[in-house]
């Protein structure tokens, strides 16, 4: 999940919790406040009614007329119910029902309090009307306020003032939702200010990882993100500098190898030529004794073998330097690789015969022509077959090839000594030889497989090895057909 989505989700969750808590808290406070206001209002109304009744001395006579008149003033919601009760608890006036049908009210909690000269309140169900009411009862005192002569009680339906609370709560929710939307918009802009530069850095790192080194990110401002962007740019610069230094050193090394190899090639070829001439002349020399000739030929053979080895090292180094340079050096063309390999294989005939090994090729009948640099492609198999022969003492060597629409797959399989798992990851390194004593014996320098790997990579292919010690080795090559 993206950072901006995470931020927004958390904000929405937080705000939802906050809204719910705020709703309940406000509703509670509003209800408390409105209850308090109604008690205040009803007790003031009680006082007014009480004074009117006392002033007119109407507690005994025409209270009906006065109270009905007052009651009619509160015909709009919330409707006020008015009850007049005598000190004995008898209901003598009731605005909403018939007074004579009502119970004695002496034990009602608000009446009991009012009889004591105080204002009594209670929220409970009316036994007469079976609805919840807020009752406020006040004593009606005689004109010199020394005696309670009756009780005036006013009340409102609880659901009437609850509906007002609900209206208020809905208003609060409405404003909270508006506030939430504003908050969300502000957060969205704020999170974009943070996440957009982070996304830019993320994209730049992706580009960088995919090989584009010419990436920079904008580093505006002075916050941590700007510092991160700045450090990223510095890192890329340093990396590029380091890379160009490495490339330079690599080039120096390659030039050195190429120059030295070229310098060595001419004298070595001359030495080889002269040794062969010397050998021929010695053989033809009739004066020389046979025993001496045998000795000389032995020394010449050793010199010839070492010279040959030096020449093949020089050739390998030149080939490696060439394959290590850019891919433009490939001379690709559509090639019938089966025919190419069949023409090349006779160079191994003598070695195969010496070791009594069999070499077989197995190409699928419809194997297509593939686009390769023929000379370098041939070198892959020269090196692999050379190894297969060098590191096998029995059995057969098989070259197989098949293809699908995109790739050609080649395998070179032998039943030789095999390669240890820990060596399998290293044999493609330059000068790495897995079996030192065998390499010394066979004259291997550890360049063959690095050349193979480079040629495969130049063709945008892959090479892998599977091997079991004592059983044999398979080299697998996958090359794109086009």
Ligand X SMILES: Nc1ncnc2c1ncn2[C@@H]1O[C@H](COP(=O)(O)OP(=O)(O)OP(=O)(O)O)[C@@H](O)[C@H]1O
3-class secondary-structure state, position 469: coil
Whether the Cβ atoms of residue 160 and residue 78 lie closer than 8 Å to each other: yes
Q: Does 427 bind ligand X (CB under 6 A)?
A: yes
Q: What is the 3-state secondary structure (H, E, C) of 225-265?
A: HHHHHHHHHHHHHHHHHHHHHHHHHHHHHHHHHHHHHHHHH
Which backbone phi and psi does 425 adopt, to 5 degrees? -80, -10
445 binds ligand X (CB under 6 A): yes
Which pair of structure tokens corresponds to residue 189? 């802009």
Min separation Cβ 313 and ligand X, Å:
8
Say which residue the tokens 């509906």 belong to. 163
Can you tell me the distance from the alpha carbon of 71 to that of 99, in angstroms, rounded to the nearest whole number?
15
Contact pattern from residue 260 through residue 299 relative to ligand X, giving x for each residue in contact according to CB under 6 A and a dash for the rest: ----------------------------------------
**Least separation in angstroms between CB 349 and ligand X:** 19
Should residue 473 be labelled a site residue for ligand X when binding is judged by CB under 6 A?
Answer: yes
Nearer to ligand X, 135 or 475 (CB): 475
Compute the least distance from the CB of residue 387 to ligand X, in Å.
Answer: 3
Question: Any contact of residue 434 with ligand X (CB under 6 A)?
Answer: yes
Q: Could you tell me the two tokens for 383?
A: 């090196």
Q: Is 446 in the site for ligand X (CB under 6 A)?
A: yes
Identify whether the C-beta of residue 439 lies closer than 8 Å to the C-beta of residue 446.
Answer: yes
Of the pair 119, 344, the CB lying nearest Mg ion is at 344
Are 300 and 282 within 8 A, CB to CB? yes
Should residue 391 be labelled a site residue for ligand X when binding is judged by CB under 6 A? yes
- 415: number of Cβ within 10 Å: 18
Q: What x-and-dash track marks residues 438-457 binding Mg ion by CB under 5 A?
A: ----------x---------
Do 418 and 398 touch, CB atoms closer than 8 A? Answer: no
Q: Is 387 in the site for Mg ion (CB under 5 A)?
A: yes
Q: Which is nearer to ligand X, 200 or 414 (CB)?
A: 414
Residue among 91, 136, 357, 388 that touches ligand X (CB under 6 A): 388
Q: Is 433 in the site for ligand X (CB under 6 A)?
A: yes
CB of 302 to Mg ion, least distance (A): 22
Q: Which is nearer to Mg ion, 120 or 448 (CB)?
A: 448
Q: What's the Cα-to-Cα distance from 171 to each of 24, 133, 166, 168, 476, rounded to whole Å? A: 13, 25, 9, 5, 76
Does 448 bind ligand X (CB under 6 A)? Our answer is yes
- The candidate with the shortest Cα–Cα distance to 411, out of 343, 344, 357, 478, is 478
Choose one: 125-133, 252-260, 324-332, 429-437; the region binding ligand X (CB under 6 A): 429-437
Contacting residues toward Mg ion, per CB under 5 A: 387, 448
Contacting residues toward ligand X, per CB under 6 A: 316, 383, 387-388, 390-391, 414, 416-419, 427, 432-435, 439, 444-450, 473
């Amino acid at each position: 999940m993206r950072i901006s989505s995470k931020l927004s989700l958390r904000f929405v969750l937080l705000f939802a919790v906050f809204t719910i808590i705020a709703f309940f808290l406000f509703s509670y406070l509003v209800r408390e406040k409105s209850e308090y206001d109604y008690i205040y209002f009803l007790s003031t109304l009680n006082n007014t009614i009480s004074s009117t009744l006392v002033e007119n001395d109407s507690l005994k006579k025409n209270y009906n007329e006065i109270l009905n008149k007052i009651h009619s003033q509160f015909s709009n919601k919330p409707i006020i119910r008015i009850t007049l009760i005598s000190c004995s608890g008898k209901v003598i006036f009731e605005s909403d029902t018939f007074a004579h049908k009502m119970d004695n009210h002496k034990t009602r909690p608000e009446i009991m309090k009012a009889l004591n000269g105080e204002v009594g309140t209670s929220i409970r169900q009316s036994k007469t009307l079976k609805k919840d009411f807020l009752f406020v009862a006040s004593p009606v005192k005689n004109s010199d306020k020394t005696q309670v002569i009756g009780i005036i009680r006013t009340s409102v339906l609880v659901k009437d003032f609850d509906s007002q609370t609900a209206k208020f709560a809905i208003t609060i929710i409405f404003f909270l939702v508006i506030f939430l939307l504003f908050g969300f918009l502000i957060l969205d802009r704020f999170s974009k200010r943070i996440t957009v530069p982070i996304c830019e850095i993320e994209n730049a790192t992706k580009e960088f990882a995919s090989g584009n080194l010419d990436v920079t990110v904008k580093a505006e401002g002075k916050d941590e993100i700007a510092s991160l962007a700045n450090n990223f740019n510095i890192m890329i610069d340093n990396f590029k500098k380091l890379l160009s230094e490495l490339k330079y050193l690599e080039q120096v090394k390659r030039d050195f190898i190429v120059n030295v190899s070229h310098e060595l090639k001419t004298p070595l070829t001359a030495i080889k030529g002269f040794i062969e001439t010397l050998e021929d002349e010695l053989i033809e020399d009739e004066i020389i004794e046979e025993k001496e000739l045998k000795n000389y030929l032995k020394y010449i053979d050793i010199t010839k073998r070492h010279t040959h080895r030096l020449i093949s090292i020089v050739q390998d180094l030149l080939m490696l330097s060439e394959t290590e340079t850019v891919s433009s050096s490939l001379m690709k063309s559509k090639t019938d690789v089966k025919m190419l390999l069949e023409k090349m294989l006779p160079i191994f005939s003598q070695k195969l015969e010496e070791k009594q090994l069999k070499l077989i090729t197995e190409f699928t009948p419809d194997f297509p022509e593939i686009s390769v640099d023929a000379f370098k492609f041939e070198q892959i198999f020269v090196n692999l077959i050379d190894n297969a022969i060098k590191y096998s003492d029995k059995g057969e060597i098989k070259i197989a090839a098949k293809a699908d629409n995109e790739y050609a797959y080649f395998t070179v399989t032998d039943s030789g000594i095999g390669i240890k798992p820990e060596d399998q990851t290293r044999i493609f390194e330059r000068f790495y030889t897995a079996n030192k004593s065998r390499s010394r014996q066979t004259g291997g320098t550890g360049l063959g497989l690095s050349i193979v790997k480079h040629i495969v990579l130049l063709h945008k292919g892959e090479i892998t090895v599977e091997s079991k010690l004592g059983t044999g080795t398979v080299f697998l090559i996958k090359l794109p057909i086009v």
